[in-house]
Amino acid sequence: MTTTWDDLVGAALLGTERRTPPTRPREGQDAAGALLDAAAVRTVQRRAALLPVAARARPGAAPEDGRPALPEAARRRLALLLADRAAPGGGRRGSAPDLTELLPQWLAAANARGYRAPAALLPELLEAARARSDVRPAALALAGPRALWLARLNPQWKYALRASPPASGGEPGADDRVWQEGLLAERSALLVSLRQRDPDAARELLAGTWAKERAEDRLMFLDVLGERLSLSDEPFLEQVLSDRSRNVRAAAAGLLTGLPGSALASRMAARARACVAPDRTSGDGPRITVEAPHECDSGMQRDGIVAKPPSGRGERSWWLGQLVEAAPLAGWPARFGVAGAAEVVALPVADGWQPDLHAAWCRAAVRQGDAKWARALLGPAASPPAPDVASWKDPAKLLSALPPGERAGWVAEFIAVHGLPEAFRLLGTCAVPWAEPLGRAVVDALDTARDAGGYPWSFSGVMGLAERCLDPSEADRLAVPEDASGYWAEAFERLVGTLRLRATMHAELAG
């Protein structure tokens, strides 16, 4: 049985008289000496970033990384951030900043300046990225080519190979050999890299082995094709609509519906127009009339419509929603003879179909990234949605279709009217650091909540976001009042301390 580091630490903390060390003393050596020898060996292994294995050929030298080294203060800061992540109980401690949540921002700032990671910290950086997928891209970018060299020596770091293209050295046929013979991680990395360099070549490479790929791999490779999607991909994706896997068919349909001018988008638009039409016979002015599908035929199913609705959902409304969601939004104004999205959304809908129709348009606006439709469906931030439509209007999703500046302004206005408790998900959609109007709105709302004696735990999520997302310059506006106590005092101290620490981190990276 392999002796772990935790086994050694446990024996050292309790003492060799109370716990027998998991080691075998040499002749004439006491238990404490054997424990120290074993700890020394394990320390060398950890620092070398190697797992204990049978002897094998020495690996080649690690590749050079010509990027500039970190300033010394920034190097020490990275070591502290990584050590705090790995320490038992690391992270938040009372009013102290949560260092684990500062690591992503530090990595982003270091990469923006083009630095390389210190060689001695590469193992800890790879471990941090293994534990947290959200920091992987930034961590691997900082680690550079030496991270891949290390990843080939430790199976726990194979994830790094999936994120980077295999080194082919420009040899003829190297890409094809990797695609035919490589591990899944290497093949995925190759497809991502090739799609960025030559989208058509990546698609043809995938098409050549498509029939032999496993369903889960086909689904993952389709996701890669979503990058740099064009009408050149349409013939291949149309063939995939007949795939034997329902999930793969649905993924192909999703790509085609997001492709302007595709045949599938046209088919969906025709079906949706047959169900949703203008009605000018009403004495109250024009309105929208809806006749939901009566069946889900084989053609609809091939184009990605799921026939069986979820529990509690009617079949016809389920099919209608999918059709309208997949239809291009650009065609609706002409269908109703109005100028644009806002005028379409303002039209009354007959027979209680408005929630289903508008919900489908909301999903279409997010999928198609249409800011005009998202803006029309959102409405003004100061006016909350009516109770009968609140279940389908999801501002957090619709905001993702707006430009970053407009998104931050909408959320700032929302906070000014409705306060912070309802704004947590909305804040998560805004670019970091928060724009000045949004940051000011959050600070003012926190001051108001504290002064009003609001229940503090309802603001804990917002406080955590504010620590990571507020501009550090807001620290001076958040001085802790002398009469503050309890949660509010601790939370404001931590927020101010975190903002100032973030400012210090940026100054260290500037050298």
Amino acid letter for position 162: R
Task: Indicate the burial class of 501 (C-beta count within 10 angstroms; 0-12, 13-18, 19 or more).
Answer: middle
Of residues 273, 261, 260, the one with CA closest to residue 368: 260
**DSSP state string for 223-252:** HHHTTT--GGGHHHHHHHTT-S-HHHHHHH
User: Quick one: average pLDDT of 456-480?
Assistant: 81
List, for residues 249-268, the tens digit of each pLDDT value: 999 999 998 888 899 999 99
User: Is a pLDDT exceeding 60 seen at residue 2?
Assistant: yes
In this prediction, residue 181 has a pLDDT band, given cuts at 50, 70 and 90, of: confident
Angle subtended by helix axes 122-131 and 136-143, to nearest 10 = 160
In this prediction, residue 481 has a pLDDT band, given cuts at 50, 70 and 90, of: low
User: Is a pLDDT exceeding 80 seen at residue 282?
Assistant: no
User: Quick one: average pLDDT of 379-401?
Assistant: 72
Query: Quick check: pTM over 0.95?
Result: no
Percentage of residues of the chain with pLDDT beyond 90: 55
List, for residues 348-369, the tens digit of each pLDDT value: 999 999 999 999 999 999 999 9
User: Quick one: average pLDDT of 185-205?
Assistant: 90
What is the pLDDT at residue 188? 87
The residues pairing with 124 across neighbouring beta strands, listed in sequence order, are none
Residue 330 CA to its chain's centroid (Å)? 28
User: Quick one: average pLDDT of 71-98?
Assistant: 76
Of residues 288, 235, 290, the one with CA closest to residue 259: 235
- The residue that leads in pLDDT, 148 or 7, is 148
List, for residues 18-53, the tens digit of each pLDDT value: 777 777 777 778 888 888 888 888 787 777 766 666
CB-CB neighbours of 376 under 10 Å? 19
